[in-house]
Structure 1
């Protein structure tokens, strides 16, 4: 099984001019994005989203009645659909800057007869007034932001007082045997599988590199506190993923 030649790879880490490159990369893999997520995570990503959904909706009323929820970097809307299925009384809006991903998300919502709104938007300049939402979520998209502090500031701005932010992300692998095994899988195995299935080797080289360049959970919590959030986090599946919860004081 031979992988296709690598494509151009966006820069990784904070304070990088990568918006257009990331946008083009995700547009190119949109048709097979969901399949790859299932295959590469062995389906565990679904349980991570369920846990993040419980955290996100913990402060809303029964069935989420009256709550407004914004899912930023919604992609093909997996998290937005999970939120709506769990809280049918909530208004769920998904925002992303990749039209090809949103088109797939809209088709999924139609086929499942789930009523969510999916809109194009820049996470660093959200097209919503101050204090517009009770909950903001962001699953596996925050590390792609060109400026983490600016993204957090936008989240804080559009959240209502006492609102909640939930970020679900891949932190860098922890030290130790499991972290070493996962790092090997992430850097040597995952890009080859992703390249063969998606036809874009660059996208699945970017993925592990972006994770390795991402702040560790303690540092991300510090960035959230500096923005004005009361923050806690939990590690999932031996630290493969992490949920950060930020409440706006």
Structure 2
């Protein structure tokens, strides 16, 4: 059984602590753009009828619900998260959604996905891969449970390439965002956010990690001046 590291336990506790205000702060701090990013990310999937999708770090189920909205009614979704507080909030949203019956929630870490090999037609993870302590192990697990021919779509914050916009972005991210987050929720969590983004590998390095896990036909698309990036990779057929 996978054992979380001390860092993993701290991150899990942090998200438990902010789960009650998580959706509100996402909309407020991103000016609502996060919804458009998620829609675009999910649109990169191609899920057949009766297919299955795994949404890792599902949180309060925004992406899982978007997958349901964009796919055939026969498609089922598993939302996985290692934070119980987030799943409680997510289940409340599912209970009031017309898509809720198509989505099942599982409490598990990305580094040990509790599903057999070659199970899912698509995998998504939005703003979660940077919180995975052993990212390469998490990517390896995604590759394992994805069917040959299936696709992974990863949405994550990035560092803008434009020096001018990067300065504006860093000021907001490092000064304003933690102050607002601290006023409405827990400041340390919203200080962690910019710190974790700054620490995340650059686009080329992260693509190399995806390739190391076995993914092919890799591509990435920057969104909103490079604030966020969508990474796409396929599991080769015939494996």
State TM-score, norm by structure 1.
0.89
Give 2:220's aligned residue.
Answer: 233
Larger RCO of the pair (alpha carbons < 8 Å, separation 6+)? 1
3-state DSSP class of the match of 1:151? helix
3-state DSSP class of the match of 1:226? helix
**What is the rounded CA distance, in whole Å, between the counterparts of 1:179 and 1:21 in structure 2?**
29
- Cα deviation for residue 113 of structure 1 reads 2.7
**What is the rounded CA distance, in whole Å, between the counterparts of 2:93 and 2:120 in structure 1?**
24
Deviation per CA, 1:199-231: give whole Å up to 9, x if none: x11100000000000011111111101111111
**What is the rounded CA distance, in whole Å, between the counterparts of 1:227 and 1:140 in structure 2?**
19
Tell me if 1:170 matches 2:154.
no
Give 2:146's aligned residue.
Answer: 159
Give 1:105's aligned residue.
Answer: 90
**What is the rounded CA distance, in whole Å, between the counterparts of 2:173 and 2:145 in structure 1?**
34
Tell me if 1:54 matches 2:43.
yes
Contact 2:160 2:226 in 1 (8 A): yes
Give 2:193's aligned residue.
Answer: 207
State TM-score, norm by structure 2.
0.93
Structure 1 gaps, min length 5: 1-15
- 1:189-204 alignment runs, 5 A limit: 189-198=176-185, 200-204=186-190
2:29 to 28, 32, 40: 40
Number of paired residues?
Answer: 228
Tell me if 1:217 matches 2:203.
yes
- 1:54-203 alignment runs, 5 A limit: 54-56=43-45, 59-61=46-48, 65-87=49-71, 88-114=73-99, 115=101, 116-198=103-185, 200-203=186-189
Structure 2 gaps, min length 5: none
- Cα deviation for residue 175 of structure 1 reads 4.4
- Cα deviation for residue 17 of structure 1 reads 4.7
- Cα deviation for residue 174 of structure 1 reads 2.6
**What is the rounded CA distance, in whole Å, between the counterparts of 1:40 and 1:21 in structure 2?**
23
Give 1:7's aligned residue.
Answer: none
**What is the rounded CA distance, in whole Å, between the counterparts of 2:175 and 2:212 in structure 1?**
36
**What is the Cα-based RMSD across aligned positions, in Å?**
1.1
- Cα deviation for residue 172 of structure 1 reads 2.5
Contact 1:172 1:214 in 2 (8 A): no
